[in-house]
Amino acid sequence: MTLHTLNELIDEGVRGRHVLIRCDLNVPLDGSVVTDDGRIRASLPVIKALADAGAKVLICAHLGRPKGTPDAKYSLAPAVARLAELAPELKATLAGDTTGPAAVAASAALAEGSVLVLENVRFDARETSKDDNERQSFAGELAALTGDHGAYVDDAFGAVHRKHASVFDIAKLLPSYQGDLVRTELSVLRKLTADVARPYVVVLGGSKVSDKLAVIENLLGKADTIMVGGGMLFTFLAAQGYKVGSSLLEVDQIPVVSDYLSRAADAGTTFVLPSDVVVASKFGADADHEVVPANAIESSSFGANGLGLDIGPESGAVFAQAIAGAKTVFWNGPMGVFEFAAFAEGTRAVAKALASNSADGGFTVVGGGDSAAAVRTLGFADSDFGHISTGGGASLEFLEGKVLPGLSALER
């Protein structure tokens, strides 16, 4: 795979040229306040490099899942406001639309070294359309904003697994380059798939096991140990014949999980499941809760109504010990409902163990999405880990061995 780099573009000369960057500004919000600006901060180096080189920088990005029409609650305005706070020298402004009259006028008036963010690309239904012609039409409008000598940089690793107009089709219309964020992500993920330093430990959590099936399939025989937490663990427990009360359970996936458990030993991979679970009376920060053995969830005082919301302290210690002995660790998905203090300790134990492993020279990767939000919410710094990915879904699909459309489109 040959992907041209940002440095190549800058060396070619960008002063006075419009450069369209696909950034990942899909940040969590509380009203109009950005609660985790990690993706914005990760996007800044490429934006600044192009602005410093004299480019007229256009940014396209999405936020949330609007239904193909403008919706104020999905506006990029909060993300642009935070971008302006972090880098006031860029003079970043938000266009009033995506490729309409406001964007056309603002792009034409853009000064060298300044930044214009186009409004949410998903406000246009063509962005995510299954119809090639519709996507190509929208991509053509994005390309037209760059004038006669434009260029395109994909720096949104979190979107490269999507065959969308601003990710896939646009790369066919303009000279295209990978941003440094994409380049770094690829370098990190290759270390998880080729010539891996062993022992190689994978920690998987999150709510649904169905979201992780393909990556588990591909990791059997590649990872030395796969540890399972989060809501997905209850399907694993059910596959072992245990009752899980009212905990999250995907009954239709039990046969698949059973197959993984039976095949793991022959493949050279050990599954480690929690030995204890924090069971609650309800889903809520103020829920009554207690720790019970993982194979006896309904023995809690809540009986069959109890639901597991975190791995227990004994499990946290076992997970931490396995992480401590690893040379490579990949973690995707929290161990419990970390947003509630009572059910955050399992996630904290894993995060602390990864940070300690990293300090001791291990290679640790936090796989983006909820995992990245969790470590920041719990007070860990990005520098505590070898790498925090900006692309949860994209990272998983890469580890599944899939071809990512946004990357294939950059090949030339």
Active centre residues (catalytic): 39, 208, 369, 393
Q: What Rg do the C-alpha atoms of the chain give, in angstroms? A: 23
SS3 state at 318: helix
The total number of residues shown for the chain amounts to 412
The beta strands (E) that lie in 307-394 are given as 307-311, 328-332, 363-366, 387-388
Q: Confirm whether residue 392 is marked as ligand binding.
A: no
Instruction: Determine contact, residues 160/182, Cβ cutoff 8 Å.
Output: yes
164 appears as a binding residue in the annotation: no
Residue 183 CA, chain-centre distance (Å), reads: 15
The reply to whether 162 sits in an annotated binding site is yes
- Alpha helices (runs of H) in 4-150, residue ranges in sequence order: 6-12, 38-52, 77-86, 101-108, 132-144
Q: Report whether 39 belongs to an annotated binding site.
A: yes
- Known binding residue 63? Answer is yes
What gap in Å lies between CA 159 and CA 389, rounded to an integer? 12
Give me the sign of the Cα torsion angle 183, 7, 84, 143: negative
308 known member of a binding site: yes
Is 140 among the annotated ligand-binding positions?
Answer: no
Query: Is residue 371 a known part of a binding site?
Result: yes
Name the phi and psi angles at 332, rounded to 5: -140, 115
On whether 65 is known to bind a ligand per the annotation, the reply is yes
Q: Which residues are annotated as a binding site for ATP?
A: 212, 308, 339, 368-371
Q: Which residues are annotated as a binding site?
A: 24-26, 39, 62-65, 122, 162, 212, 308, 339, 368-371
Q: Which residues are annotated as a binding site for substrate?
A: 24-26, 39, 62-65, 122, 162
